[in-house]
Each structure stands twice: as C-alpha cells, then as structure tokens.
Structure 1
C-alpha cells in the first residue's frame, strides 16, 4: 500500500489579499506604531501565528501594505511627471487629486506615506527611515520635473526648483494631515487651488 505524504503545515484559512487590505486600512487609520498586533489580527480576522506565517513580521506586513496603498490610490506619480506635457498642468492635477483622495468617505483620511510613521521608537527606526526615503523620492521627482520645465521654458528662468518642489511637497503633506483630521474635499481643494495659483505665478509668458 502506497504511503501518502502528509502536507506540511496547515493550509491558510483566510484570503491573503483581503487580510492585506484590512491591515492596510488599519495602518492608514492608526499609523504604524498605533496599530498593535492585536488590532491587526482582529481587523484581518486571523491569529498572530497566521500573521507571522504569512507576512513574517509587523514591519514586513507594513511594507507590503504600502504597495497595496499605492495601487489603491492609483496615482503613478513619477510616470505622470515624466510623461505629462506640462509640469504646471500635471502637478496642478496631482494637487487637486490628492485633495479629493485624502478626504474620501470610503477610506481613512490622509495619506499612509505622509503620516504613517513620522515618529517611531528606536526599534522601528528602519520603518521610519523607509518612509523618509519615500517622501524624499517624491520631493526629488517634483524637483526634477520643475528643473526640466525651466530648461524647456515653461517656467521662468529665475524659478528656484528646490524651493518650489519643497513648497509643493509641504502642501501635499499638509493636506494629508488635514485630511486625517477630517477636512472636507472642498476645504482641501481650496488649499490645492492656492498652491496651483503659486505654480501659475512661475509660469513663463512664453511657456
């Protein structure tokens, strides 16, 4: 009689994608350190053992939820900045889109990347550094696009791309905090429109 091999480990009794989405929404709402393992397992509907088996650690789970977040936002920022024919139009569109998405009724307010891990304990330093890296990458993308716009004559030659990029990033991060605190879409759009007006002020007459 042929011996049947036993399958190693117990099969997962949960949908991994659904559990990941639940974890992402919790991290989005509470931040990295604000979401405990107990909070996560309750939201995901799994045991701590299943969480560590499927996602290895809380930090690894968090990094994976950031990928889920980017897909949920559906905003390929770097692609838009590179391929958009106009820096002013592209960045203006991003500002207004962020204003709308940071205040969606069907999602937690704000932005996981802007507010998810601003201050962390020493043992979570790697997570905090990763988030700083993401924000710096976004800042560099804005700066690069503005520098190109100056070279192409869209923006005035005396425009400071570093300062203007930091202004844009500051507005976006500020809207994220305001969205987290309950600001409405109309209120955030009003802020975005002021930033758009500042961008327009730097537009070249010939651009």
Structure 2
C-alpha cells in the first residue's frame, strides 16, 4: 500500500504575511488594496496567497480578525473595566492610541476599510458594518449590566451610550486619518466624558 503524500511545508510565515496584508488593507482600504499590493507586501505569489488564505474577500476577513485581536483589542479589554465610566474612558483612550500609533496607518481599518467601496467592495463594506455593529452591541450589553448593578442611573439608556461612544471613536479615527495628533484627540476624548453619562 502506498504512503499518502505529505504536502510541502509553506515556504513563508503565514502569520507574518497576514499581518502585512492587514496593514495594506488598513492603509489602502479594501478596494484600494490590489492583489499586487497585497502579494508584494506579503512576499508571496498569488497562487500561494489563494492556497493559504483564499480569495481577496477571505483574506480581508482574516486580516480584520487579526486587526480585532491586535490593534483593536482595546475594545474587548475596555469591557473588562470595573465601572461604566472606566469602560468608556478605556475604550476612547484605546481608540486614540490605536488610531495614532507610530509605524502604523493612521485611523481605523474598521471605519475606513470599506466606506468608499463600490459594487466590487460590497462584501467588505457589509463585513465592516457587521463588525462595527458587533462592537456597539458589546458596549450596549456592558452598559445594560451597569444599569442593573446600579453603576449607571436606572434611567440611563445603554443603547444611546454605546452609540455615543462608537460615534466618538469613529470620529476620532477620521480625525486621526486626517493627521490629528494623539494628544489633541485625547483631549477630545477627555472632553467627551466630562458629562458622564450622556443623557
């Protein structure tokens, strides 16, 4: 009986290649990132890209997951803060830092990645709409718990507070992409929380 042939091991580091693809999507957006841009940054051929990651849409989803677990991990970490106000502060401060980190593209992959996408970018745009909605739902649930625990007033609206923070975070990302400095954006985040909770 013949032995099953074992495939050749990959001649590249898939995690490092995915990290590079994430940066290209972050800097260029979904439609702006051509397959040539992606494969050149990743240091692999198109054939290797398809074999390891699938098509461009699949690669984008994997890059977005990496972004969620890496640069955007401040969102999940903020949810663990002990009070609703501390959650809000950690969330906005994390957004400011992630959007203005030296050596990384300015702004947020999840905000800018598919906003201007045409028909060919519909899947990416819809994926990012879902991604942003999921983040808002996680904040809403955390603030609902804060109301139940008495950390927020009984009349506080968890949906409104979550939407308020997401709107601020998205605005911070756009400002960062326009060249605003980290310090200036942090002052905006601080000012936004002076009247906590928003009513």
TM-score range, shorter chain: 0.7 to 0.9
Q: Which deviations, in whole Å up to 9, do the C-alpha atoms of 1:88-135 show, x marking residues without a partner?
A: 112212211211221011211111112211232223322221211111
Task: Give distance in 1, aligned partners of 2:125 and 2:30.
Answer: 9
Higher mean Cα deviation, 134-143 or 116-125?
116-125
Query: Which one of the candidate residues 33, 50, 68 is aligned to 2:31?
Result: 33
Query: Which one of the candidate residues 65, 86, 89 is aligned to 1:89?
Result: 86
Is 1:100–1:188's contact at 8 Å kept on the other side of the alignment?
A: no
Task: Give distance in 2, aligned partners of 1:54 and 1:93.
Answer: 36
Task: Give distance in 1, aligned partners of 2:65 and 2:71.
Answer: 10
If the length of structure 1 is used for normalisation, what is the TM-score? 0.85
Structure 1 unaligned segments of length 5 or more: list them: 203-207
Structure 2 unaligned segments of length 5 or more: list them: none
Residue of structure 1 in register with 2:132 after alignment: 135
Query: Which one of the candidate residues 87, 90, 100 is aligned to 1:103?
Result: 100
Give the 3-state SS of the residue equivalent to 1:155 in structure 2.
coil
Distance apart, 1:72 and its partner CA: 2.1
Distance apart, 1:137 and its partner CA: 1.0
Query: Which one of the candidate residues 110, 113, 128 is aligned to 1:113?
Result: 110
If the length of structure 2 is used for normalisation, what is the TM-score? 0.88
Q: Decide which structure has the larger Cα Rg and report it.
A: 1
Task: Give distance in 2, aligned partners of 1:75 and 1:58.
Answer: 23
Is 1:113–1:134's contact at 8 Å kept on the other side of the alignment?
A: yes
Task: Give distance in 1, aligned partners of 2:5 and 2:125.
Answer: 42
Instruction: Provide the aligned length of Structure 1 versus Structure 2.
Output: 198
Is 1:37–1:58's contact at 8 Å kept on the other side of the alignment?
A: yes
Query: Which one of the candidate residues 56, 62, 65 is aligned to 2:63?
Result: 65
Higher mean Cα deviation, 84-93 or 143-152?
143-152
Distance apart, 1:74 and its partner CA: 6.2
Give the 3-state SS of the residue equivalent to 2:165 in structure 1.
helix
Higher mean Cα deviation, 158-167 or 178-187?
158-167
Residue of structure 1 in register with 2:191 after alignment: 194
Q: Which deviations, in whole Å up to 9, do the C-alpha atoms of 1:168-202 show, x marking residues without a partner?
A: 10000111111122211101101110122132566
